[in-house]
């Protein structure tokens, strides 16, 4: 049940991200339905936040979701620990990308440069 809900969540995030990216790019290109370029840019970037969240979720939870092919217990534990360590080391980059996007969105909303 939880695995099915996780898939539903990822599909929802993917489509929501796609919708915001398409809406923002369309508004930037045509000037409609959002006529303010700064707001269209924030809409586009908000869609990228969804995709960055998907990348962070998949990158972090992948080692926990893998099923091994039953090697000896010591080897299996060591491989799993290495995979978890690599996933944890990649978290700052993935979450840093999300935070940078949020900071840029906040900057565009506050300054409204264009």
| Residues whose CB is less than 8 angstroms from the CB of residue 44 and which lie 6 or more positions away in sequence, other chains included | 20, 21, 23, 24, 25, 28
pLDDT band at 84 (very low <50, low <70, confident <90, very high): confident
pLDDT band at 91 (very low <50, low <70, confident <90, very high): confident
Q: Which of 38-47, 54-63, 94-103 has the lowest mean pLDDT?
A: 54-63
65 pLDDT above the threshold of 70:
no
Instruction: Please list the alpha-helical segments (H only) found in 31-72.
Output: 37-65
Q: Of all helices (H) and strands (E), which one includes residue 94?
A: helix 73-111
Q: Distance between CA 29 and CA 21 in Å, rounded?
A: 12
């Amino acid at each position: 049940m939880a695995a099915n809900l996780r898939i539903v969540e990822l599909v929802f995030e993917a489509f929501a991200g796609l919708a915001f990216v398409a809406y923002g790019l369309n508004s930037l290109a045509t000037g409609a339905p959002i006529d303010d370029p700064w707001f269209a840019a924030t809409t586009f970037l908000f869609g990228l936040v969804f995709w960055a969240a998907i990348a962070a979720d998949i990158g972090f939870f992948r080692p926990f979701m893998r099923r091994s092919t039953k090697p000896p217990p010591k080897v299996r534990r060591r491989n799993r620990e290495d995979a978890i360590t690599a996933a944890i080391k990649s978290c700052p980059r993935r979450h840093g990308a999300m935070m940078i996007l949020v900071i840029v969105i906040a900057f565009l909303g506050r300054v409204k440069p264009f």
